[in-house]
Structure 1
């Protein structure tokens, strides 16, 4: 006959085994995700670092975010410095860092399909800057693994429920045709492309121009006037970061053009009454 104490001991033992199995599964799943880097074959000579190693070495690493200032201001790894790879002074600033700081330099950008961190590392090596590598899991993978070492709109640790998921993203995307159909007196249309991206102009009769880091005033005006916001960028990537600001400001009636200007041109909609 099994005694009550033995039953309790067996229950605890089974519970521990179950918990260990769950932990192992989660760790294995994350590790499996981590090795699926589609750009590593293209950049085989670029040294990389895992999120576990980077987390352990944060205090002994110079972490460089190579994205735009707006992306950096929205979400970044704690204590990182922002040097956009598109900045003409990218290498000059790196060299100045290396002159005064001999710690390893690690570059990062958005995620496993973003090539900016690889290109930054490759460029640094070609200019003779040593001790560099790339953290190619990117900011989103990092934030999910280490929210305590990430900053979202000035807030850290990052509440993971504030990260915008695919469902919320999709809920605010319109096809180019639907985007144009939504234009009217109760809507404000905004082009958030940078000035150097505006080689092609569309919807000229209704579009207001404001780069992503200067749009807050228009957001507040639209909210005050009860207008829907219809926003487009170059290829549909800049709006992803703008969505965090819109959600923070409590704006709900906003939509982005799927694929941005590129999507609009590929849809071949032809001239409209707003051009």
Structure 2
């Protein structure tokens, strides 16, 4: 009887631990519940098998050029030839394919994996901890603006990023003679145009010329994107170029429209 009770208690404890682990996984990786069929891989397992894995970075080229995992291949999921390129890789290499993007709230790697499976590409998974988690764990296997190992003190934290964020109202209020306003959205994101009389257009990978012009003329850079995510990557280039007087619009175009029209009208 005592043995039975002990076994029962042990099983109950294991069940509780399992539930706790599942709850922790949901909290730490909120998108796993949304993509339950997408297999994932941990950072330590990926590190152990890095040399025998085809690692696909599914973000934009600019994000990839800024910070990526060593030996990764950049195939943006927004590229029309995404599946075609994957199939070509699979034809010549039967190694496991692992997709990654920015982090635990970025769905691009899940979508890439799901899309690959639907097109019959096997042995695929997603590394959903993302590039920042990877770099902090394995700076020796990451590349920041061409530099590896990555000096962790060069990673821009949220506090540093927020120090250069202005509300839409303050952003507009800062526009003046000594300011250069730049829209860094990609061409396919420019369905809505704002601040037409003052804005210069340059996608994030073609902005260096304007940065140098602003530096030379001592101008403040006021930069906005689609939803406030691209500017995070641009900040690395600005810091590398020694630019200090720059600000981003909170929420990008989306934040501007919400502030102008109100959340209910915009949504």
Fold match, TM over 0.5? yes
> Residues 102 and 51 (structure 1 numbering): CA distance in 2 closer, same or farther, change over 3 Å?
same
Deviation at 1:198, TM superposition (A): 0.6
Contact 1:61–1:103 (Cα < 8 Å) also in 2:
yes
Query: Which runs of 4 or more aligned residues in structure 1 lie more than 3 Å from their structure 2 counterparts after TM superposition?
Result: 32-35
Residue 233 of structure 1 corresponds to 225
Q: Quick one: which of 188, 200, 203 aligns to 1:211?
A: 203
Q: What is the alpha-carbon distance in structure 2 between the residues aligned to residue 53 and residue 34 of structure 1?
A: 20
> Is 1:150 the equivalent of 2:161?
no
> Residues 33 and 230 (structure 1 numbering): CA distance in 2 closer, same or farther, change over 3 Å?
farther
Deviation at 1:268, TM superposition (A): 1.1
Cα deviation, 1:234-268, whole Å, max 9, x if unaligned, reads 00000000000000000000000000000000001
Contact 1:66–1:83 (Cα < 8 Å) also in 2:
yes
Gaps of 5+ in 2: 1-23, 263-267
Cα deviation, 1:99-138, whole Å, max 9, x if unaligned, reads 0000000000000000000000000000000010000000
Residue 189 of structure 2 corresponds to 197
Q: Any idea what SS the aligned residue of 2:28 has?
A: coil
Contact 1:177–1:269 (Cα < 8 Å) also in 2:
no
Residue 22 of structure 1 corresponds to none
Q: How does 1:108-187 map to 2 (within 5 A)?
A: 108-187=100-179
Q: Quick one: which of 47, 56, 72 aligns to 1:55?
A: 47
Deviates more, 1:71-80 or 1:35-44: 35-44
Q: What is the alpha-carbon distance in structure 2 between the residues aligned to residue 222 and residue 177 of structure 1?
A: 22
Q: Any idea what SS the aligned residue of 2:222 has?
A: strand
Contact 1:188–1:227 (Cα < 8 Å) also in 2:
yes
> Is 1:91 the equivalent of 2:83?
yes
Q: What is the alpha-carbon distance in structure 1 between the residues aligned to residue 138 and residue 47 of structure 2?
A: 8
Deviation at 1:35, TM superposition (A): 7.1
Q: What is the alpha-carbon distance in structure 2 between the residues aligned to residue 123 and residue 115 of structure 1?
A: 12
RMSD, aligned CA: 1.3
Contact 1:34–1:137 (Cα < 8 Å) also in 2:
no
Gaps of 5+ in 1: 1-31, 271-275
> Residues 59 and 35 (structure 1 numbering): CA distance in 2 closer, same or farther, change over 3 Å?
farther
Cα deviation, 1:207-247, whole Å, max 9, x if unaligned, reads 00000000000000000000000000000000000000000
> Is 1:105 the equivalent of 2:97?
yes
Contact 2:222–2:246 (Cα < 8 Å) also in 1:
yes
Residue 16 of structure 2 corresponds to none
Q: What is the alpha-carbon distance in structure 2 between the residues aligned to residue 55 and residue 33 of structure 1?
A: 20
